[in-house]
């Protein structure tokens, strides 16, 4: 047999082999079906939210807070080993009683020794006057992969009375939002702004609406799971982590949206909640053109003040 005939036979054998393999593995060879969709987009980053942990320990701790350290340690292990977010935010009432300030220090020790990712704290009405000494300023900003986070801690006139929070740092908040018009912003608070849960809530809501760059407000305080939309902003209320089923939230940030899921204890195990909700980003506004002679000064200022550190310019009165 000539070598040309050998080559022709080899080609026929290869075609038959490919056809058989395609049929065997279930690939449709002749179909009008559209091509498979491209692989799903990947999140840019993720973070977790715990609210109303109501941590306490030792003699004198309230009954319902007994075991709060073990529960938090277990959830943090889930965060470390399974969820692996870029960071965690705690949106207030991280401890149970302002009359037991030692709990703040014990909580910090627990988090520093167990949480393998960076964590950020927001002051709640139960956290008391010792909060800033242990966890730092109650109003600050940090930026992560293009998203600006603004922790906005309130001043509590009467910590255990509803409507008793005031926003003494509202001018600071307005300034931060005005200076970051071209960024998408996530606000971290304790008492929800929507639904209106404190004295200054309508004023703060108007400020966020006028700023036009806020995509979401993450809060707690109410001890229920809430989702409200107002003025193009999604207002999320995280449930009380300290109570059964010990829910915390996971946020996956994509280029065009944030996906939100709960994690909760079910039959003794942490499982992902079934519901998936989405915050869709509106288009980013074009940044205002800087005057040529002011540009170098601003660039230098950004270099000197990294955005992922608490903002020392808040000028707030700590309480």
User: Applying CB under 5 A, which residues contact Fe ion?
Assistant: 52, 93
Query: What is the rounded distance in angstroms from the CA atom of residue 68 to the CA atom of residue 62?
Result: 10
Q: Which long-range contacts (CB under 8 A, 24 or more apart) does 294-301 make?
A: none
DSSP state of 63: G
Of 90 and 172, which CB lies nearer to Fe ion in the complex structure? Answer: 90
Is the peptide bond between 195 and the residue preceding it cis, with omega within 30 degrees of 0? yes
Taking the least distance from each CB to Fe ion, the nearer of 55 and 119 is 55
Residue 53 or 177: the one with the smaller Cβ distance to Fe ion is 53
**Nearest CB to Fe ion, comparing residues 174 and 223:** 223
Among residues 251, 128, 124, which one has the least CA distance to residue 192?
124
**Smallest distance, Å, CB 121 to Fe ion?**
14
Distances (CA, A) of 284 to 82, 149, 192, 299: 32, 16, 25, 21
Q: How far apart are CA 233 and CA 16, in angstroms?
A: 59
Nearer to Fe ion, 222 or 258 (CB): 222
Q: Which residue is nearest to Fe ion (CB)?
A: 93
State the nearest-atom distance from the C-beta of 248 to Fe ion, in Å. Answer: 14
Nearest approach, Cβ of residue 259 and Fe ion (Å):
26
What distance in Å separates the CA atoms of residue 261 and residue 250, rounded to the nearest whole number?
5
The owner of tokens 């960024």 is 183
Distances from the Cα of 308 to the Cαs of 98, 208, 241, in angstroms? 28, 21, 26
Which two structure tokens, joined as six digits, stand for 296? 């170098």
In the complex, the smallest distance separating the C-beta of residue 64 from Fe ion, rounded to whole angstroms, is 11
All residues at 6 or more sequence positions from 308 whose CB lies less than 8 Å from its CB, including other chains: 142, 143, 144
Q: Write down the least CB distance from residue 283 to Fe ion, Å.
A: 36
* Nearest approach, Cβ of residue 220 and Fe ion (Å): 6
Minimum Å distance from CB 71 to Fe ion? 15
Nearer to Fe ion, 167 or 222 (CB): 222
- CA-closest candidate to residue 118, choices 166, 161, 79, 171: 79
Q: 52 vs 200, which CB is nearer to Fe ion? A: 52
């Amino acid at each position: 047999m000539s070598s040309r005939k050998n080559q022709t036979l080899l080609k026929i054998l290869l075609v038959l082999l490919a056809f058989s393999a395609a049929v065997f593995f279930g690939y449709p060879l002749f179909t009008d079906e559209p091509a498979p969709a491209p692989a799903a987009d990947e999140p840019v980053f993720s973070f977790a939210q715990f609210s109303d942990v109501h941590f306490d320990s030792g003699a004198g701790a309230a009954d319902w807070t007994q075991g709060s350290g073990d529960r938090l340690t277990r959830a943090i292990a889930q965060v470390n080993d399974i969820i692996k977010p870029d960071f965690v935010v705690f949106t207030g009432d991280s401890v149970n009683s302002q009359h037991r300030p030692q709990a703040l220090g014990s909580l910090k020790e627990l988090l520093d020794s167990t949480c393998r990712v960076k964590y950020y704290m927001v002051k709640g009405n139960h956290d008391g006057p010792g909060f800033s000494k242990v966890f730092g300023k109650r109003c600050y900003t940090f930026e992560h992969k293009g998203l600006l986070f603004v922790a906005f801690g309130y001043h509590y006139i009467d910590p255990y009375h509803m409507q008793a929070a005031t926003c003494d740092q509202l001018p600071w908040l307005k300034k931060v939002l005005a200076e970051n018009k071209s960024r998408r912003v996530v606000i971290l608070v304790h008492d929800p702004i929507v639904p209106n849960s404190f004295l200054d809530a309508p004023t703060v809501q108007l400020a966020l609406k006028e700023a036009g760059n806020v995509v979401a407000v993450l809060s707690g305080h109410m001890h229920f799971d809430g989702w409200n939309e107002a003025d193009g902003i999604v207002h999320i209320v995280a449930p009380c982590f300290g109570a059964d089923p010990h829910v915390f939230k996971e946020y996956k940030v994509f280029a065009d949206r944030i996906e939100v899921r709960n994690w909760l204890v079910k039959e003794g195990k942490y499982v992902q909640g079934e519901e998936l909700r989405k915050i869709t980003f509106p288009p980013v506004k074009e940044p205002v053109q800087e005057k040529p002679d002011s540009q170098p000064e601003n660039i230098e200022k950004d270099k000197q003040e990294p955005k992922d550190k608490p903002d020392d310019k808040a000028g707030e009165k700590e309480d």
